[in-house]
Structure 1
Amino acid sequence: MSEEPETEAEEPPKKKSKKGLLVGLVLALLGAGGGFAAVQMGLIGGPAEEEAHAEDHIEVSPLPPIAFVPLDPLIISLSGQGSSRHLRFAAQLEVPPDFVAEVEAIKPRIVDVLNGYLRAVETADLEDPGALIRLRAQMLRRIQVVAGEGRVRDLLIMEFVLN
């Protein structure tokens, strides 16, 4: 039995129609345009334009009366293992306006408390990125003890440079 060679010629592959790609592209553009229009009209995705403008006119309550008492900058020598390092520290105290004169009168005591505390802190603690928050809370508490409750609201650190 002999095999007969195929006499049929192979057909070249048919080109795929780009009709489906074109329909998909048109539908995608229509969907994107419809979504954009729905968001702009406020149907989905947030408040309408009128509501957004209404939020711009929110009533803001006035700040309570405050005053700030600046503290003289401190330069503290830090003891270390053979290295001479310094900390430059500047701060302001937030106080009620009625107590400004009283807090001004005890500034030397406040500076003394800060100086003593900052000298006792280890250099490694000062280099820690989260240390400033802890140090600020510790210093504020010491200042409030010296000044008396209610006279100092907050400690604002203006400069904290370790070199």
Structure 2
Amino acid sequence: MSDAATPEEDAPKKPSKLPLIIGLVLALAGGAGGFYAAFSGMISGLGGSAEAGDHGADGDHAGEADHDSPDSPLPDVAFVELPQIVVSLGEGSATDHLIFRADLEVPSAKAEEVRSILPRVIDVLNSYLRALEPTDVQGPSALIRLRGQMLRRIQLVTGEGRVRDLLVMEFVLN
């Protein structure tokens, strides 16, 4: 009877998962540390700080301005002012009107071209703003979403490369 194996001896032992867990934790910590070092500029040439980076073989910035330097030239832009637009929001709104005013950021060479088609830009903005529902202009992210929609419509009207950005100067719910 001493030759009979007990059930505890027949069961194979499971390998420990502790080395796998330790390896996974160390890999995640190393990845996070590497990301932080590259993003903050501790490792030169991988991003983050512009002064630590490699700017190419001939020393230029490959089209990017060094915005941290006070001696860097300002971009060649002009601003085209849009007239104030007042839009009624309709029934079901806590406010009656939306007052909107903005400027367009354009390359200096294209400023006169954009000014010449300003009536089309105003028309597309009026059409878009009047079609908004009261819920579209309320909420913390409403202005960001509306700005993106308006910029895309303006860029379609003005043509490729004429309008870089839409700068919202006034957005009042009254």
- Tell me by how many angstroms 1:81 deviates: 2.8
Identify the residue that residue 15 of structure 2 maps to in structure 1.
none
Provide the residue aligned with 1:141 in structure 2: 152
For 1:148 and 1:136, locate their aligned partners in 2 and report how far apart those are by CA, in whole Å.
18
| Distance in 2 between residues matched to 1:118 and 1:146, nearest whole Å | 16
State the Cα deviation string for residues 128-155 of structure 1 (Å, max 9, x = none).
1111001000000000000001000000
- Cα gap change, 1:104 to 1:58, in 2 (>3 Å): closer
Contact residue 92 and residue 134 of structure 2 kept, 8 A:
no
Structure 2 unaligned spans of 5+: 1-67
Tell me the matched-pair count: 107
Q: Is 1:94 paired with 2:94? A: no
- Which of 85, 97, 109 in structure 1 is aligned with 2:120? 109
Structure with more relative contact order (C-alpha pairs < 8 Å, separation 6 or more): 1
Hey, what's the Cα distance between the residues in 2 that align with 1:77 and 1:108? 20
Instruction: Please list every run of 5 or more consecutive structure 1 residues that lacks an aligned counterpart in the other structure.
Output: 1-56
SS in 2 for 1:127: coil
Q: Aligned partners of 2:143 and 2:93: how far apart in 1? A: 24
Is 1:152 aligned to residue 130 of structure 2? Answer: no
Pick one of 60, 63, 80 that aligns with 1:69.
Answer: 80
In 2, the alpha carbon distance for the partners of 1:77 and 1:147 equals 26
Give the alignment of 1:19-98 within 5 angstroms.
58=69, 60-81=71-92, 85-98=96-109
Higher fraction of helix: 1
Residue from 114, 118, 121 that aligns with 2:129: 118
Q: SS state of the match for residue 137, structure 2?
A: helix
Distance of aligned partners of 1:63 and 1:88 in 2 relative to their CA distance in 1, 3 Å threshold: same
Q: Percent identity?
A: 59
Moved more, 98-107 or 81-90: 81-90
